[in-house]
Chain A
Amino acid sequence: MSTSKSPFESILKFLSGMGLATTLLLLLGFQTWLATLEMVDAGLLATLRKYFHWTSWYTLGEMPVPFLERHLVVPMPGGYWVCALLLVNMTLGGLIRIRKSPRTVGVILAHFGIIFMVAAGGVAQLYEKRGVMFLFEGEEADYAVSLTKPNLEVLEIEGGEATGEVHLAGDEKLRGLESRDRRLIRFPALPFDLEITGWLTNTVVVPEGSGTSNPAIDGWTLRELPVETEGELNASGCYARVVFEDGTRGNPFILAVPPPSSGMESFAPQMIEAGGGTYAVRLVKQTIPVPYRIKLVDAVAEYYPNSMRPKSFMSDIERIEGESVPVEISMNEPMRRGGFTFFQRTMSSGPQSGNGPEFSGFEVVSNPADKWPEWSLWVVTAGLGIHFISMLIRSVSRVTRTPKSP
């Protein structure tokens, strides 16, 4: 009888093996450790991009060397792909190839739970929308603004009013742009496209002659700012020019997201005449529509007496969808409705403010896999519980059967 295995079987065995699992788990733990240390200086977003983004096939980890103010550079595969391989390993080894018996029920359940949890993460990464909604008391809104993702918006203008469809170039078209890049953003439904150059992740519009080498247009230019470690503090900007259907190009103009501290949603748009129509172009943070209106009735920030320690942040809102429904949103008590979840994110003032809070900020999230981690937890808990308890029982019964050593 031949014992040689086909290459397919060998690969399958390798991919589902304990050796690969152990290696990947160690590697992932090591990467998590390095990323945790590095994010202190480099910031969360930059560190995640370096270690765990899908575009990072490999990464050069920086391991601190004890007693020396130096780092040892460690090349390793990208964390995203380590996770992906681990998922394959888990599926093959922990679900498909594992021996199916009463003894392995717990292990199979636990692996299934983990895979389900990772799947929840994948779904969230692909389909999650996340933004903020800031409301002053008495104000209403039916949309949130993305925290990080910029949107290039083109609005059709008629009689000075925006009409018709809003044409968008979102994160998928703008992702990865750098200052040296030149990228043509196509708008098939419009009589023109836009050519983007000089993209800056964090910038501010300043008058010409403010000590920057970037081109000046109509007396204004872009000054590059350091990329903030908190991604939502960045305001992107770029130079753009219209490329008409006949290939001719218009004059360059500046597009920029207003700085978060300004409180503005957008700068005045650039007006374009093309194909007999008028269009307004602007760069804003992505808008996320919500299927109902939210009205902030009262924002209540409570602090413990005679201290600066926050006790409770709570917003009384009205959810308006046909009829008005009063709802209370507070820390640990979000509102879930219509595929969106509203979390209490921020309030305008502290205990030192005599007039009380004026506005409330909600984090608005749409995530189809919102509850999946919770469900997967029950599966994992049950799986590990079954496995470890049965192991314990077997071990105890074996000990009681074994005669005592002298």
Chain B
Amino acid sequence: MNLVARWILFALGVVFVLGIAGVAIRNASPPEEVRVVADYVPWDEETLRLAESIPVQDGGRIKPLTTYAGFTMLRFYGARKMEIRPSEDADSVKLKPIAWMMDALFRPHLSVRQPSFRVEDSAVIEAIGAEPGERRDRYSYEDLEPGRERLLELASSYARMEKDERTPLENQILTLAENVRNYEQIIGVFGLARNGLRMMPVSGLPDGANSPQRANASAVMATAPMIRRVLQESESRGETIPPHVQNLLQQILDGANSSKFGLFLFPPRNAEDEHWLSPGERVMNVMSMATRDIEGSIADVAAIETLSRTLYDTQESVDALAARMAERLGHDDFDQASPRLQAALTREAAALLDGAEEDRLPFVRRLAFQHELSELRGDLVERAEARGEYGSIELEADYYRKDWFLYALVWFLLGTILAIAMWMVRGLPQRILGYGVWATVLAGFVYTVIPIVKRCLIMGRPPVGNLYDTIIFITAAVVIFGALVEFFTRRRLALGVLPIAGVILITLARLFEVGDANDHMDPLVAVLRSNYWLTVHVITITLGYAGGLVAALLGIVYVLLRGLRLDGGDRGLRRSLTRGVYGMVCLTLFLSLVGTVLGGIWANDSWGRFWGWDPKENGALMIVLATLAILHARIGGFIREWGIHLASIFLAAVVTFSWWHVNLLGTGLHNYGFTDGGGYVNLLYFVVLFFIGFGFVAMAIERAQELPKPEGEAEGEASRA
């Protein structure tokens, strides 16, 4: 029986590891179907490396372009990686967020064919009159375009409805419409710069002087005072505005509007002005004479004109372009470029000189683009540094490049496998595997704490300010608390639980990040902007959650060990676990009670009331009451070993209610954490109920089999402990 139970547990453990690994892999992987985007050429790594740390303003803070790209891609596409194929026969290309964003910004003709929009239900596509695919599928902008008008029309009517009255389908239509609108803003960012303005023939001029031509927006901006004078003169003479001027102004207005919201790229010249400017704002501010920085605005727009057109230079201009590049390679700029860029440019130049005629165009284009991007980035970085706003950009770009939590997950998964093996053997092998578990848990812990510290440095605030922060912080806290229990009990039981908890929590963090798709490093709202209270209240209460979860996990271990007779009746082992759980319940009470009261004091300073029966406050109170009830029942002798462990498992449900469930209620003042995900919460309640039910059955069987004597002795000793 013992052996059978052991193998059953082993099998369950393996299923658990595989399940979590499957969820994690699926979460990090693009969809199975690989869309063909004809003639797609991947960006080279150097260009992407240059682009990812370009500073932009989004969500109220300055962040690297890669962060903006990552969360935008998550919102639209639901993953951080997209796989496409340049042709049916070609190998697939994996697009990272920065590459996906660069396509949208600089190669919209390719971007619109990428399947950038995730749609959960094909009924949405049917409703807008486009061609539906699988029930849950991804669509390109080109796929959605036939239904675009209908989509916006439906969204407009649903937006007027109360949130509670909307069906899930209507909510999905609203989300898709918002994503499509935002996408259009992104592909429009460099539209005016790339396309320029088409000049109308001017009446009265000879034909030769009226040949169709294009003008740069920057050139038109330079003539803004002249245009203004023409307008004023026309107005004073009571004449209509000349048609070619009217047409030009309309094009400027349309172009500026479409590039007004997608990317706030340019730091303002005025140090006191916090609002970074988009290309559209740069143009409009000059045309409407709303800025004193006319030269700077024109220079910015000229820079993005050169940059965005470089990729579209034609075969005819290849020689001119090559000459220009050759000139630049010998120019001082080359010496000032980073060693990495110098190497890339030299490599490209060599390839260019040796390459066949038909290969020269992409080479030259890429080279020129990289150079222009480097120039623009250099200018933006310099200006951001002068304003003191570039400090943590490189750090943040590196944070997302390293993907710390993925490595933490790998370590914890490895630790879980070792822990399962450790529990299967005895003696020396167990001790050796125990060291292995310690090592992997330590590695996972380090890979969890480093990004938490980095986030604090980037955000300039304590580690916990939103729901995502709580998950990763609790992961680290659970490891510390569990290690403490292991230190005192030394039974390798708490130790084995740690990597399992790490796997569950890191997976939860990744799922939440994908589902929520919001940048959790964005600044906090006014009422939360207090580093003192974020430190003393939020961290304390979050540590309380961690304590409750550790107690519950130990309770589950106890119930499984005793229920399946895996402990061999070892009373010392049971006592150790009981002591560990009791200590964790005490710690949970201390942290939750102090944290809750601190929250009340903060609320008193913010809103003028100590207690407002807000759901989050109630949840914290429930943890306090549950731990108090457990301790009083224990002291009063109403519960003994079984009782305290079953009650501590129940504590997990109370912690889940306080930590997650109240966020689903959609009411209360702690509205920074609202989210979806009721299914996961219910799953956890079910798991809790399952283990409690299992514990009761096991306890009843044990009593029915009349094993009370050693049990009674153990209880007596434990209760004295």
A271 to B525, CA, bound (A): 49
Residue B228 interfacial (CB < 8 Å): no
Smallest CB–CB gap between A36 and chain B, Å?
Answer: 4
B635-692 CB contacts (< 8 Å) to partner A: 635-638, 654, 657, 662, 665-667, 682
Residue B43 interfacial (CB < 8 Å): no
The answer to whether B533 and A18 have CB atoms under 8 Å apart is no
Residue B298 interfacial (CB < 8 Å): no
Residue A22 interfacial (CB < 8 Å): yes
A305 to B273, CA, bound (A): 9
- Which among A25-33, A192-200, A236-244 touches the partner chain? A25-33
Q: Which of B526, B571, B622 contacts A33 (CB 8 A)?
A: B622
A388 touching B625 in the complex, CB below 8 Å, given contacts A332-B527, A373-B610: no
The answer to whether A18 and B632 have CB atoms under 8 Å apart is yes
Query: Which of B607, B632, B633 has the largest number of chain A CB atoms within 10 A?
Result: B632
The answer to whether A26 and B629 have CB atoms under 8 Å apart is yes
Across the interface, name the chain A residue whose C-beta is closest to B281. Answer: A306
Residue B583 interfacial (CB < 8 Å): yes
Smallest CB–CB gap between B547 and chain A, Å?
Answer: 12
The answer to whether B633 and A22 have CB atoms under 8 Å apart is yes
A311-365 CB contacts (< 8 Å) to partner B: 311-313, 331-334, 341, 343, 345, 363, 365
The answer to whether B636 and A307 have CB atoms under 8 Å apart is no
A261-320 CB contacts (< 8 Å) to partner B: 302-307, 309-313
Residue B191 interfacial (CB < 8 Å): no
Residue A233 interfacial (CB < 8 Å): no
A332 touching B529 in the complex, CB below 8 Å, given contacts A18-B632, A363-B608: yes
The answer to whether B622 and A29 have CB atoms under 8 Å apart is yes
Query: Which of B597, B615, B721 has the largest number of chain A CB atoms within 10 A?
Result: B597
- Which among B109-117, B426-434, B598-606 touches the partner chain? B598-606
A33-68 CB contacts (< 8 Å) to partner B: 33, 35-37, 39-40, 44, 47-48, 52, 66
Residue A21 interfacial (CB < 8 Å): yes
A384 touching B593 in the complex, CB below 8 Å, given contacts A306-B275, A307-B60: yes
A288 to B527, CA, bound (A): 26
The answer to whether A343 and B606 have CB atoms under 8 Å apart is yes
The answer to whether B625 and A29 have CB atoms under 8 Å apart is yes
- Which among B200-208, B500-508, B584-592 touches the partner chain? B584-592
The answer to whether A312 and B529 have CB atoms under 8 Å apart is yes
Residue A380 interfacial (CB < 8 Å): yes
Residue B264 interfacial (CB < 8 Å): yes
A331 touching B606 in the complex, CB below 8 Å, given contacts A18-B638, A22-B632, A307-B60: yes
A373 to B628, CA, bound (A): 19
The answer to whether A374 and B601 have CB atoms under 8 Å apart is yes
Across the interface, name the chain A residue whose C-beta is closest to B612. Answer: A44
Q: Which of A39, A313, A399 contacts B526 (CB 8 A)?
A: A313
Residue A376 interfacial (CB < 8 Å): yes
A311 touching B523 in the complex, CB below 8 Å, given contacts A26-B629, A305-B57, A385-B590: yes
Residue B611 interfacial (CB < 8 Å): yes
Residue A92 interfacial (CB < 8 Å): no
Smallest CB–CB gap between A397 and chain B, Å?
Answer: 12
Residue B274 interfacial (CB < 8 Å): yes
The answer to whether B638 and A309 have CB atoms under 8 Å apart is no
- Which among A117-125, A153-161, A170-178 touches the partner chain? A117-125
Residue B61 interfacial (CB < 8 Å): yes
The answer to whether B636 and A19 have CB atoms under 8 Å apart is yes
Q: Mark B269-313, 1 if CB is under 8 A from A, else 0.
A: 000001110000000000000000000000000000000000000
Q: Mark B613-633, 1 if CB is under 8 A from A, else 0.
A: 101001101100110110011
Smallest CB–CB gap between B534 and chain A, Å?
Answer: 11
The answer to whether A377 and B601 have CB atoms under 8 Å apart is yes
Contacts of A36 in B (CB 8 A): 613, 615, 618-619, 662, 665
Contacts of B662 in A (CB 8 A): 36
A306 touching B608 in the complex, CB below 8 Å, given contacts A18-B635, A331-B526: no
Smallest CB–CB gap between B589 and chain A, Å?
Answer: 7
Contacts of A73 in B (CB 8 A): none
Smallest CB–CB gap between B260 and chain A, Å?
Answer: 11
A120 to B601, CA, bound (A): 12
The answer to whether B667 and A388 have CB atoms under 8 Å apart is no
Residue B520 interfacial (CB < 8 Å): no
Smallest CB–CB gap between A404 and chain B, Å?
Answer: 8
Contacts of B211 in A (CB 8 A): none
A25 touching B625 in the complex, CB below 8 Å, given contacts A305-B57, A396-B488: yes
Across the interface, name the chain A residue whose C-beta is closest to B278. Answer: A306
The answer to whether B594 and A377 have CB atoms under 8 Å apart is yes
Smallest CB–CB gap between B666 and chain A, Å?
Answer: 7
A130 to B609, CA, bound (A): 10
A58 to B276, CA, bound (A): 59
A377 to B608, CA, bound (A): 17
A309 to B597, CA, bound (A): 28
Q: Which of A29, A365, A376 contacts B629 (CB 8 A)?
A: A29
Residue A395 interfacial (CB < 8 Å): yes
Q: Mark B500-528, 1 if CB is under 8 A from A, else 0.
A: 00000000000000000000001101110
Residue B327 interfacial (CB < 8 Å): no
Residue A17 interfacial (CB < 8 Å): yes
Across the interface, name the chain A residue whose C-beta is closest to B619. Answer: A36
Contacts of A332 in B (CB 8 A): 527, 529-530, 533, 602, 605-606
Residue A208 interfacial (CB < 8 Å): no
A29 touching B626 in the complex, CB below 8 Å, given contacts A35-B613, A39-B667, A395-B579: yes
The answer to whether B608 and A331 have CB atoms under 8 Å apart is no
Across the interface, name the chain A residue whose C-beta is closest to B570. Answer: A405
Residue A166 interfacial (CB < 8 Å): no
| Interfacial residues, chain B to chain A (CB-CB below 8 A) | 57-61, 264, 274-276, 488, 522-523, 525-527, 529-530, 533, 570-573, 579, 583, 586-587, 589-590, 593-594, 597-598, 600-602, 604-613, 615, 618-619, 621-622, 625-626, 628-629, 632-633, 635-638, 654, 657, 662, 665-667, 682, 721
25 contacts between A and B (CB under 8 A): A18-B636, A22-B636, A29-B621, A29-B626, A32-B618, A32-B621, A130-B608, A130-B609, A303-B60, A306-B57, A311-B529, A312-B529, A332-B533, A341-B608, A345-B607, A370-B604, A377-B594, A377-B598, A381-B594, A388-B586, A395-B488, A395-B579, A395-B583, A399-B579, A405-B570
Extra contacts besides A306-B276, A309-B60, A396-B488 (10): CB < 8 Å = A66-B682, A120-B610, A305-B60, A306-B58, A310-B526, A331-B606, A343-B607, A345-B608, A384-B593, A399-B488
* A-B pairs with lowest CB-CB distance, top 9: A304-B60, A18-B636, A405-B572, A29-B625, A25-B629, A307-B60, A305-B274, A343-B608, A36-B618
